Every structure is written in structure tokens, then in C-alpha cells.
Amino acid sequence: MFNGLFDLQIRLDRIDKNTDPLVTLNKMIDWELFRPVLESLRDKPRKSNAGAKGYDVVLMFKALILQSLYNLSDEQLEYQILDRLSFSRFLGIDLGGKVPDFTTIWLFRESLSKSGFERKLFDQFDGYLRASGFSARKGQIIDASIVQTPRQRNTRQENQQIKAGEAKKVRKDWSKAKNAQKDTDARWTKKNCKSYFGYKNHVQIDVKHKLIRDYDVTAANVHDSQVFDSLLDADNTSADVWADSAYRSEDSLERLAGSGYREHIQRKGHRGHPLSEREKKGNRTRSTVRSRVEHIFGVQAMKMGNTILRCIGQVRARCKIGLRNLAYNLDRYSMLTAAKG
């Protein structure tokens, strides 16, 4: 127990001396920037003035950013806010203040996902980045990472129907409890001879600042090349585009050239036609730049957890992955700005 505010301040000062990253994040980010979009979530008129007033929308949004940064479930997030002084200070909740419970957190994220506002928040911050001197520079890199979800144990017939686009028909035969646990939007894919079930986080970053400039979320079986064109940023100061060999095809090369881009896409060998030494050397040279996107996926895995995404359906997955991308940008921006100062 703390004997007084002085004792509490001593504890907080010791936390700061050990470099609490949330202090820097709070200092560098203008959280009020997001309030107009967040307030529009509550534009529905209240039926009655009775009952407790809801939590501040910016506080709830910051709680979701904490959840994304530290890969916490709703229950874990509630506990950590109650238990950790650094979390409660980040949210502006004092020791006697009310802490949102896990149901309140779930409901807020649910309203965010149903409205698709996580994308609005991401785009709004990207506009702020560009206006603050962090425009997309020195070219762009496009890549995708697999985000796994719990594997489904369906019958062969059910899987065939789901693949054929008859998920609604299958769901009619399932109980309410079973429906709540089944994800019929996620799909299987293979990478390096291993099978994965879930979604893909397709991202486009700028080479200069290593910030995510655009993203898309699809089922895991969607080939990377299918969202390639939609992620390209015509506003980048350079026409250079880097990507791995999955994006290389005659059509993609023609489209890039026709749009004025300079391609730096990895070459790939084929059976009977292995890469020449020159092509291998070119791949190594391109990898020195393209690896910057792997740093982002590495940071997300290290800080946010490379664990299974526990939500049902693509709408919720899109929201959680979108918030994860936004949380990365917020954290990255705070680091870049702090380094400047």
C-alpha cells in the first residue's frame, strides 16, 4: 500500500528511470487527433439519461492500443490496467479511478470493427504523419505476413461447402454456441511446406521512415500478388518498388512499368532453370532494402506477440490487425520524433 501521494510519485519516478516506453508514446502522440472519429461511434441518441456515463472514447482507444502493443486478451488488459501503474498512468486513470472491465473493452472494439473505423483512424494518422514531415520517401516495399487463428475441426463436407461459398448454409445447421466458435472466413495456406490457418496482413511501407503506409487484410489463401496494385503509393517521392518473388510475373512487371514505377522484385528460379550467379547477386542486393519490411514484422512479433489471433470472422480480424498496424505506426513515430529531439 502507498502511504501517500509522495510514495506513489517515488514509485513512478523509479519506473521512469527504467525507461517506461509509454511515457514517450504519451508525450509524442496528440491523442485528441482521434477524438472526432471516435466520438462519431456514439452518435446514436441515448434513449434515456439514466445510467452511468460511458468511458471517454480516447481512453478506450488508448486501451486498445495497449492491447495491440502487448498482445493482451480483454481479460488480461483489464487486469494489467488494474495492476500496472504504467498502464493506468498512460490512460490517465488514478488509483481511485474506474477501470473499464473486459466486457466494456470488447463492446468498444466490437463497435469499432462493425463501423470499420479502425481504417479511418489509420488513414487519419497517416495524414498527420505526412503533414508532420514524415511523407513517404525513397520508395516502397510490399509484403505480407500470415496471421494465424484457431484451427477449425469441421467435417470434410462442411469444409467443401465453406470453400464453395455456402458458409451460411452450413451455419444454419450449427447451434448458436457452435456458431460463436467457428470462423468460416479464415482459410488454409501453405508456406515453406507448413500449413497455416487464418488471414494475411498485406502491408506497404516507405523505405525512408519504415512506416506502414497502407495495408489490406484477406483470408490466408489469397495470393500476395492479388492485392499488389491496390497497395502501391503514387505519392511516394521515389518510383522504386521492392517486393519478394511472389509478386513477380509478366503482368505485374508490365503494370509497374506502365504506371511509371521501377521494379526491384526478387527473381525466382524454376525447375530446370536455376538462378544465375548474377541473378543471385541481384537478389542479395535487393534484399538489403527489402529486409526493412521484415524488421516491421519482427517488431510486431516481438512486441505484440506472434501468437494466434483469437477472434471470429474477417470483420473482427480486420479490426484487430488494423489496430496492430496503427499501434506499430504510433510507436514508430514516437521513437522517430524522440530521436529528433
Q: Which ranges of the chain would DSSP assign to H, the alpha helix?
A: 5-17, 21-28, 35-39, 57-70, 74-83, 85-91, 102-115, 117-131, 156-163, 167-172, 176-179, 228-231, 250-258, 277-304, 314-340
Residues 288-303, mean pLDDT to the nearest whole number: 84
Q: Can you tell me the distance from the alpha carbon of 252 to that of 263, in angstroms, rounded to the nearest whole number?
A: 9
Higher per-residue pLDDT: 95 or 111 = 111
Name the helix (H) or strand (E) containing 28.
helix 21-28
What would the grid cell of residue 151 be? 484451427
Q: Can you tell me the distance from the alpha carbon of 166 to that of 184, in angstroms, rounded to the nearest whole number?
A: 10
The CATH number of domain 135-149+186-313 is 3.50.50:
no
Q: Which of 98-107, 110-119, 155-164, 215-224 has the lowest mean pLDDT?
A: 155-164
Of residues 211, 247, 217, the one with CA closest to residue 229 = 247
Q: Can you tell me the distance from the alpha carbon of 78 to that of 83, in angstroms, rounded to the nearest whole number?
A: 9
* pLDDT of 73 strictly over 60: yes
pLDDT at 51: 44
Residue 289: band (very low, low, confident or very high) from pLDDT cuts 50, 70, 90: very high
Instruction: Show me where the domains of the chain are located.
Output: 5-43+54-115, 135-149+186-313, 156-182
Q: For residue 53, give the DSSP letter.
A: P
pLDDT digits (tens, 9 = 90+) for 244-253: 999 999 999 9
Amino acid at 341: G
pLDDT at 88: 93
pLDDT digits (tens, 9 = 90+) for 141-195: 999 999 998 887 777 877 777 777 777 777 777 777 777 778 888 999 998 889 9
Of residues 40, 107, 119, 27, the one with CA closest to residue 74 = 107
Q: For residue 193, give the DSSP letter.
A: T
